Amino acid sequence: MNNLHLRVRGRRVADITTGTTEKNERTEGADRRAGDASGSADEGFEGFTRELFGGRPGYFCTYLVDLLARQNRNTCRDFPPSQTYHLRYPHTPQSPPTMATPAPAPRLLLLRTGNIITSSLPPPNPTSSTSTELLTTLLTTLQHARSHSPSSWTKLLPTGTLLAPATLSPTPPSLSESRDAYDLTVKLFYLPNVPSEDRNQHTLDAVKLVCEVLGVGRIDLLNVAFPGVGFDAEDEVPKDTIAGAQQEEEGEVDEETKSFLATYSTLESLVHSNLISRIGLSEFGSSRLSHLLRGLGFSPSITNTPTTAAPSSTVNTTSSPPTRVRPSVVQINVRDCCVVPRELIHYAKREGIQLLTHNDSGEVLTAPGLQRVISESGIFESTSTPKATVVPLWVAKYTAVVRDRSVVENKGYIAMASIR
Amino acid sequence: MDWEEAKLHADQVRKLGIQQLLDIWKRYRGNERDVLLWGDEIEYLVVSYDEKNKNARLSLRQEEILEALGRLEREQKETIAKRKAEDPNYQSEVPPKFHPEFGRFMLESTPGAPYGGNWSSLLTVESNMKLRRRLAKQHLGEHEAPITMTSFPRLGAEGIFTDPYFPATGSKSRSQYLPDELINLHIRFPTLAANIRSRRGAKVAINMPVFYDVNTPRPFRDPTVDYDRHLYPEDDDVRRGAVKEGHIYMDAMGFGMGCCCLQITFQAKNMSEARTLYDQLAPLGPIMLALTAATPIFKGFLADVDVRWNVISGAVDDRTEEERGLKPLKNSRYKIPKSRYASISTYLSEDPRLRPEYNDPNLVVNEDIKKELLDNGMDERLATHFAHLFIRDPLVIFKETLESSPEGLSDHFENIQSTNWQHMRFKPPPPGDSIGWRVEFRSMEIQLTDFENAAYAIFIVLLTRAILSYGLNFYIPIDKVDENMHTAHAREAIRTKKFWFRKDIFPPLHQHAHFSTSTTPSPTPILPPPLPVEDEYTLFTINEIINGIPPNPKSNPPTPGFIGLIPLIEAYLNTVNIDVETRCELSDYLDLVGKRASGELMTGARWIREFVRGHTEYMGDSRVGVGVNYDLVKAVEKLGMGRGGEVTGSEKLLGKWKGRK
């Protein structure tokens, strides 16, 4: 896995992202009426199968990227499939796979809901917690897919990824207007007990999959939520935060911040490759935020020491490496009341960071919850391991809001789990 | 033109109006992607205090005040233009606008430019309203003040209630109570009043039930009716039974059109969205009327109603006796069940969720006009809507407009359209402008403070966003909306009455989702057969509609509960990116609406009623005297000017006084 991470973080990710981005721009330009996309959802998978069976085992971690390449072809009629194929994969094998090959055991499970904003609000209401909403809508989606086409509602990719439902992009296309009309937000929940070094790959997967589902090449805001990071108004001891940060200025970066920084560099690379425009951090109080900003090399913007203050707090100055990207947003939970400490409000303002609200529940997806969805929907029944257990890896929640009208047009979830 | 002459031209105006409508419709039906723009209209009464006699009266200085405000607006615009010329980056708010209204004691204000769909603009609503009130106040005399009360408590009462005083002897209204001098001087308004009376063949007759208090004589016979006046032929009305026992009697257009309302207009992205919003907001009209109730006093008497609606409805009821069904049809064309000012009579969207059963099968339409609209390609529902509006006669016709070309204008269309004062209005784009299809929500009562006015305006705006985002369905049969409108009048309707409302407001599962797993297009999802229409709705309290009902799985049978409009708006707010400070401010507004619905806070009507009943000069006989009125108006003025902290009991109306900006 580590080997692959390097690839992802290195040159290859740039190639991949550039390729995908270009194609998506074309996709956006194309007329995306319902009829266009309905043609051959399966075709992409066939091509993909061929490719993988042709002797590129070990390319496990790029499965999604390959999948995306194939899928894009289907929604983009003015882009000849063969061209995509050869541009991207000059060493394509010639021989198609034989379907007699025994199916491998699924190793990863990729789940998605449809657009839940109008289609499957969980009864009784859409105010239920995030985890209830996710589980209910996943189950509804899966049950619906199953009743709709009982024989082909899940799809096992030769890479070992089980897709449920079997297609990634719903038809008709998800967005009815041009890309620019929308504010697209993804909230990525990294889940507990998943090695933090896997987050880089998970982030890339999540963003690309959401792009694919929505048929776009770029997300406006990616909020990331780390497990165990909870904003607690009482934690915010005003003065200490800044003072503490100053004291530690010369010292070591703490372990937690180190791990955030490692993930953060992936987020930055997504900004550089234009897959996302802005970065958001969920539940960061001023202490965590100041540690992170310092770790990123941004001078703290302390207003009470004007003589030594950094030239500007809101733009990348020369004091920071030019590739560093400031977080734009901190998302905090204000479910009950508006007890946001003044200190945080002022700190965020100084740092040019927008404070946005959310009301997501702490544990968005647990293994038992997911297990229940799996057994109730019967995803594993047709696989070679009907009794498999799962460990959820990440959850991505996405929303598409029509900017000029503040209408939420699309909302959904994608979740990935490993299968044991 | 007076009515005798105008009625000869009625068909001609209708014909020209339909021609203009068709031109507009053909030109703008393809509008797409118009952004959300919206605006509020706030109406004020201008009061004038007589400090010596402790009397609060209505000031009739509308023209001078508007002239001064207009001058101010022009000056501000010039300053802005000058600053802009010096500095191209200069940004400034467009100065608010003030408009005349029917009553010469009224002002109407709108924001200078519409609000947009972004969150920050929602936070400017209240401050913009406050700015307007301040501007109005600055252009009034020392002894004058703008107040946002629905109806002046002593309008038409015995004694002096206007400044300057005029006797009620005018020939336009021919009212026993209201002088013609309180009507806006523009020829349109007195003509409107006179033509409604002439067309009707009698004065309008408004009877609102009196509130029987401990010392109110039973039965109550309005003691202010003069049965002996012989000034005009219409003075016979009262001798022919126009006055109902147990009711407060009013006899002029000014009683209704002198009321202040809070109206909200939205621009939709296209015609179809405007039609959806029109239909979906329609069932909310009566709910919001009851929730904003603020009118417990008429003509100096406490009434047994809390809202203004039926007073206005009666005040402009131009139907003849034949049209009202009192006599068989002979000279009139139709029997018409409602006044021109009433709840809507037909839904107009092409939404498949609009079941034919929801509309009234006996809707009165102008068949010739409907045919003409259909022949020109308009769809059935829209054609029906306009053919219904066009059963009415134009009330005010200006001769010169009949002689000029109707092309590129909308005046004849608007002549009919804008004298159909229904609780929703579907507004086509004005010709030659960049404005899109709009919908106006018209049932709400003006609130005493701008905090409340902003809260209700924003509540409705957020609700439209939730309706569009979640694809909500509020349809109930249109006659149930009428019934709710009636119910909304009851005193304390919020605490004592139930309203028809739809039980399941969400779209059926998967109606819009297509999870195609094969290459063949997915078949239409199989939906369960629709419920009988009568099972789709039931009776709710306002609290249940606004704040929701928790589901009860233990009851027998288990009840699914109801989400409630505020939780729904909160769910919507949790789905979009909204900053902390905005979210907190919006919570304050939603909190007010929620607490009004639950009864934790008083409606304006209840607060005013309790103010009167708790006043030392009140005799428990339903009469709101000069002294009580003076103190009430003073208190209301303080509330409106943000000095609620000085008013005893303001926390019962507004919650903890937050010293709002």
Q: What is the pLDDT of residues B245-277, one digit of tens each?
A: 999 999 999 999 999 999 999 999 999 999 999
Task: Tell whether A341 and A280 lie within a shared domain.
Answer: yes
Smallest Cβ–Cβ distance between B577 and the set A141, A221, A334 belongs to A221
Residues of chain B positioned with their CB less than 8 A from the CB of A124: 551, 560-563
Task: Kindly report, residue by residue over B505-515, the tens digit of the pLDDT.
Answer: 988 754 433 33
CA distance A395 to A206: 8
Beta-bridged to residue A411, according to DSSP, are: A399
**Mean pLDDT within B360-387:** 97
Tens of pLDDT, residues B1-25: 899 999 999 999 999 999 999 999 9
Are A328 and A373 found together in one domain? Answer: no
State residue B656's pLDDT score: 75
Which residues, 6 or more positions from B652, have their beta carbon under 8 angstroms from its beta carbon? Answer: B601, B602, B607, B610
H or E element that contains B642: none
A173 to chain B: which residues are within 8 Å by CB? none
Chain A to chain B Cβ contacts (< 8 Å): 163
Cα gap A288→B548, rounded to integer Å: 38
Inside any domain, residue B522:
yes
- Report which of A186, A203, A227, A213 is spatially closest to residue A112, judged by C-alpha positions: A213
Q: Do B515 and A114 touch (CB under 8 A)?
A: yes
Residue B14 belongs to a domain: yes
Shortest distance between the Cα of B2 and any Cα of chain A, in A, equals: 46
Residue A155 located in a structural domain: yes
Do B375 and B437 lie in one domain? The reply is yes
What pLDDT sits at residue B587?
92
- Structural domain of A369: 104-171+363-399+409-419
Whether residue A338 and residue B518 make contact (CB cut-off 8 A), yes or no, is no
Pairing of strands B438-441, B262-267: antiparallel
Average confidence score pLDDT of chain B: 93
State how far residue B467 is from chain A, nearest Cα, in angstroms: 9
Q: From B521, which residue of chain A is nearest by alpha-carbon distance?
A: A38
Residues A141 and A272 in one domain: no
pLDDT given at position A152:
85
**What ipTM was estimated for this complex?**
0.90
Per-residue pLDDT tens digits for B545-576: 999 998 888 888 888 889 999 999 999 999 99
Tell me the two tokens of residue B291: 């929730």
The verdict on B368 and B516 lying in the same domain is no
Q: To the nearest 5 percent, what fractions of chain B are helix, strand and coil?
A: 40, 15, 50
Cα gap A407→A384, rounded to integer Å: 44
**Best mutation target, B555, B577, B589, to test chain A (most A CBs within 10 A):** B577
- Classified as helix, coil or strand, A404 is coil
pLDDT at B205 over 70: yes
Q: Which residues of B touch A39 (CB under 8 A)?
A: 519
Whether B480 and B541 map to the same domain: the answer is: yes
Three-class DSSP category at B637: helix
* Gap from B267 CA to chain A (nearest CA, Å): 10
- Same domain as A283, residue A208: yes
Structural domain includes residue B554: yes
Residue of B nearest to A120 (CA): B509
Cβ pair B577:A185 closer than 8 A: yes
* pLDDT number for residue A98: 44
pLDDT at B72 exceeding the cut of 90: no
Same domain, A158 and A230: no
- Give the separation between CA A51 and CA A67, rounded to whole angstroms: 11
From CA B391, how far away is CA B378, in angstroms rounded? Answer: 18
**pLDDT recorded at residue A159:** 84
CATH code, domain with A202: 3.20.20.100
Q: Report in angstroms the alpha-carbon separations of B511 from A121, A183, A413, B369.
A: 11, 24, 18, 36
In a domain, A114, yes or no: yes
Contact list in A for residue B118 (CB cut-off 8 A) is 406
Are residues B536 and B394 part of one domain?
Answer: no
By C-alpha distance, the chain B residue nearest A167 is B517
Tell me if A117 and B575 make a contact (CB, 8 A cut-off): yes
CA distances from A187 to A98, A271, B576 (A): 40, 15, 12
Instruction: Give the residue from B11, B30, B18, B27 showing the smallest Cα distance to B386.
Output: B18
Q: Are B438 and B504 members of one domain? A: no
Q: Judge if the upstream peptide bond of residue A165 is cis by omega within 30 degrees of 0.
A: yes
Are B397 and B499 found together in one domain? no
* A18 assigned to some structural domain: no
pLDDT digit string (tens) for B85-99?
888 888 777 889 999
Residue in A153, A166, A404 closest to B36 by CB: A404
What's the rounded Cα separation, in Å, for the pair B58 and B140?
Answer: 12
Q: How far apart are CA B25 and CA B20, in angstroms?
A: 9
Partner-chain residue, chosen from A117, A167, A338, that has the shortest CB–CB distance to B517: A167
Q: What confidence tens digit (pLDDT) does each residue in A282-325 have?
A: 999 888 999 999 989 886 654 433 333 334 444 444 444 457 89
Interface of B with A in 206-265 (CB under 8 A): none
Residue A66 in domain: no
A359 contacts on B by Cβ (under 8 Å):
574
Q: Are residues B617 and B487 in the same domain?
A: yes
Q: Are residues A291 and A353 in the same domain?
A: yes
Q: Kindly report the number of other CB atoms within 10 A of residue A126's CB atom.
A: 24
B586 domain-assigned = yes
Gap between the Cα atoms of A363 and B55, Å rounded: 64
Helices B580-598 and B565-575, interaxial angle, to 10°? Answer: 170
Q: What angle do CA B533, B358, B416 make, to 5 degrees?
A: 170
Residue B405 lies in a domain: yes
Residues of chain A under the 50 pLDDT cut: 1-100, 120-124, 234, 237-250, 302-321
B475 and B584 share one domain: yes
End-to-end C-alpha distance for chain B, whole angstroms:
49
Provide the residue range defining the domain that includes B528: 450-652
Q: Does residue B517 share a domain with residue B538? A: yes
Report yes or no on B215 lying in a domain. Answer: no
Alpha helices in A252-400 (DSSP H): 255-272, 286-295, 342-350, 367-377
Better pLDDT: B281 or A257: B281
Chain B residues with CB under 8 Å of A358 CB are: 574
In a domain, A142, yes or no: yes
User: How far away is chain A from the Cα of B17, in angstroms, using its nearest Cα?
Assistant: 32
Number of domains chain B contains: 2
Predicted pLDDT at A116 = 85
Judged by CB atoms closer than 8 Å, whether chains meet at A338 and B551 is answered as: no
Q: Last residue of a domain, which of B423, B444, B465?
A: B444
Residue B136 included in any domain: no
- Which of these three, B424, B444, B464, is where a domain ends? B444
Residue A180's pLDDT is: 94
Q: What is the pLDDT of residue A415?
A: 96
CB contact under 8 A, A405 and B471: no
Alpha carbon A249 to chain centroid, angstroms: 32
Q: Do B469 and A409 touch (CB under 8 A)?
A: yes
- The span from the CA of B32 to the CA of A45, in Å, is 37
Taking contacts as CB-CB distances below 8 angstroms, the residues of chain A near B513 are: 114-115, 119-120, 141, 144, 170
- The rounded distance, in Å, linking the Cα atoms of A147 and A124 is 23
Whether A124 and B551 have beta carbons less than 8 Å apart is answered as yes
State residue A251's pLDDT score: 55
Strand blocks (E) in A36-117: 108-112
Cα–Cα distance, B46 to A143 (Å, whole number):
63
Q: Which of A165, A355, A409 lies at the smallest CB-CB distance from B579?
A: A355
Q: Tell me, what DSSP letter sits at residue B261?
A: B
Give residue B527's pLDDT band: very low, low, confident or very high (50, 70, 90): low
Q: Answer yes or no: is pLDDT of B222 > 90.
A: yes
Contacts of A414 (CB under 8 A, 6+ apart): A110, A111, A112, A113, A206, A209, A210, A213, A395, A396, A398
Both tokens assigned to B314: 């009666």
Q: Residue B50 has what pLDDT?
A: 97
Could you write out the three-class secondary structure of B468-497? HHHCCCCCCCHHHHHHHHHHCCECCHHHHC
Residue that finishes a domain, picked among B413, B428, B444: B444
pLDDT at A78: 29
Q: Is residue A178 part of a domain?
A: no
Chain B: residue nearest A222 by CA? B577
pLDDT of res. A235: 53
A166 and A197 assigned to the same domain: no
Interface-testing mutation among B467, B505, B517, with chain A (most A C-beta atoms within 10 A): B517
- Whether residue A162 is contained in a domain is answered as yes
Burial group, residue B292, by CB count within 10 angstroms (0-12, 13-18, 19+)? buried
Q: Measured between alpha carbons, how far is B57 from A77 in angstroms, rounded to an integer?
A: 73
Rounded distance between C-alpha atoms, residue A350 and residue A313, angstroms: 7
Tell me the pTM: 0.87
Characterize A233-267 residue by residue with b for buried, 16 or more Cβ atoms within 10 angstroms of its Cβ, and e for exposed.
eeebeeeebbeebeeeeeeeeeeebeebeebbbbb
B423, B478: one domain: no
| CB-closest option in A149, A329, A404 to B517 | A149
Same domain, A329 and A235: yes
Same domain, A346 and A197: yes
In chain A, residues with a C-beta closer than 8 Å to the C-beta of B510 are 114, 119-120, 140, 144
CA dihedral (B238, B244, B247, B251) positive or negative: negative
User: Is the domain of B410 the same as that of B429?
Assistant: yes
Same domain, A350 and A371: no
Q: Residues B393, B414: contact at Cβ < 8 Å?
A: no
Task: Identify the pLDDT of residue A246.
Answer: 47
Which of B469, B505, B524, B563 is the best mutation test for A, with the most CBs of A within 10 A? B469
Note if the bond before A172 is cis, omega within 30 degrees: yes
Report chain A residues whose CB lies below 8 A from the CB of B511.
Answer: 118-119
Return the pLDDT at A282. Answer: 94
Classify residue A313: in a domain, yes or no.
no
Q: What is the total residue count of chain A?
A: 420
Give me the number of domains chain A comprises.
2
Residues B438 and B455 in one domain: no
Angle, CA A185 vertex, CA A180 and CA A189 arms, to 5°: 160
pLDDT, mean of residues B284-293: 98
**Token representation of residue A416:** 């990935």
